[in-house]
Structure 1
Amino acid sequence: MTDSMQQIPLATLDAVRKPIAEANGMPNAVYDDPAMFEYERDNVLGKTWAGLAFGSELPKKGFAKPVDFMGLPLAIMRNRDGEINVFHNICSHRGMILLREETEVEGMVRCPYHSWTYDLNGNLKGTPHIGGVGVHKAEGFVCEKHGLRKVRSAMWNDIIFINLSGDGVPFEEFITPLVQRWEEFTGNGGFDKVHVAPTGSAMELTVMANWKLAVENYCEAYHLPWVHPSLNTYSPLDQHYNLIVNDNMSGQGSYTYNLSDVAGTSLPQFTDWPQDKIRQAEYISLYPNVLLGVQADHVFSIILQPQANNKTLEKLQLAYVGEEACGDKYAACRTSVLESWKVVFGEDVFAVEGMQNGRKSPAFEGGVFSPVLDGPTHHFHQWVANRYAESMA
Structure 2
Amino acid sequence: MATHPNDLSAVRAPLETAHGLPNAHYVDPAMFEEEKHAVLFASWAGLAVAADVPENGDAVPLEFAGIPLLLIRDRAGQVRVFENICRHRGMILVSEPKKIEGAIRCPYHSWCYSTAGKLISTPHVGGAGHNTHPAIVKDDLGLNEVRSHIWFDTVFINIDGKADPFEVVHADLLERWREFDQPMYHGGADSRFDLQVETNFKLAVENYCESYHLPWIHPGLNSYSRLEDHYNIAAPGKYSGQGTLVYRQLKGPDDMVFPDFANLSDKWDTGAEYVAVYPNVLLGAQRDHCFVIILEPNTQTTTTEHVHLYYADPKVSEDMRARNAHLWRGVFEEDIFVVEGMQRGRAAPSFDGGRFSPVMDGPTHCFHDWVAGCVQAHRTKAQAAE
TM-score with structure 2 length normalisation?
A: 0.93
Structure 1 position 321 matched with structure 2 position 312: yes
Match of 2:138 in 1: 143
Structure 1 position 66 matched with structure 2 position 56: no
Q: 1:226 aligns with which of 200, 207, 216?
A: 216
Matches of 1:193 and 1:58 in 2, distance apart?
16
User: Once the two structures are aligned, what percentage of the paired residues are identical?
Assistant: 46
Match of 2:383 in 1: none
Moved >4 Å (runs of 4+): 261-265
Structure 1 position 344 matched with structure 2 position 331: yes
Which amino acid in the other structure matches residue 284 of structure 1? Answer: V
Matches of 2:267 and 2:46 in 1, distance apart?
33
Matches of 2:16 and 2:192 in 1, distance apart?
39
Match of 1:75 in 2: 70
Retained in 1: the 8 A contact 2:275–2:283? yes
Matches of 2:222 and 2:295 in 1, distance apart?
24
Q: Secondary structure at the match of 1:278?
A: helix
Following superposition, the deviation at residue 174 of structure 1 comes to 2.5
Q: 1:248 aligns with which of 238, 246, 252?
A: 238
Matches of 1:177 and 1:111 in 2, distance apart?
42
Match of 1:3 in 2: none
User: Structure 2 stretches of 5 or more lacking a match?
Assistant: 381-386
Matches of 1:209 and 1:259 in 2, distance apart?
31
Q: 2:48 aligns with which of 40, 53, 56?
A: 53
Matches of 2:219 and 2:28 in 1, distance apart?
33
Alignment coverage as a number of residue pairs? 376
Q: 1:297 aligns with which of 283, 288, 295?
A: 288
User: Structure 1 stretches of 5 or more lacking a match?
Assistant: 1-6
Following superposition, the deviation at residue 8 of structure 1 comes to 2.7
Please list, as runs of the form range in 1=range in 2, the aligned pairs for 1:232-311 lying within 5 A after superposition.
232-260=222-250, 265-275=256-266, 277-311=268-302
Matches of 1:277 and 1:158 in 2, distance apart?
20
Structure 1 position 23 matched with structure 2 position 18: yes
Following superposition, the deviation at residue 363 of structure 1 comes to 2.1
1:213-269 deviation line (CA, Å, top 9, x unaligned): 000000001111111111111211111111113421110011112143599551111
Q: Residues 277, 299 of structure 1: CA spacing in aligned structure 2 closer, same or farther, 3 A cutoff?
A: closer
Matches of 2:198 and 2:122 in 1, distance apart?
43
Matches of 1:165 and 1:153 in 2, distance apart?
11
1:341-376 deviation line (CA, Å, top 9, x unaligned): 111000000000111111111021101111110110
1:83-119 deviation line (CA, Å, top 9, x unaligned): 1111111111111111111110111111111111111
TM-score with structure 1 length normalisation?
A: 0.92
Please list, as runs of the form range in 1=range in 2, the aligned pairs for 1:184-199 lying within 5 A after superposition.
187=179, 190-198=180-188
Following superposition, the deviation at residue 195 of structure 1 comes to 1.2
Structure 1 position 101 matched with structure 2 position 92: no
Structure 1 position 209 matched with structure 2 position 199: yes
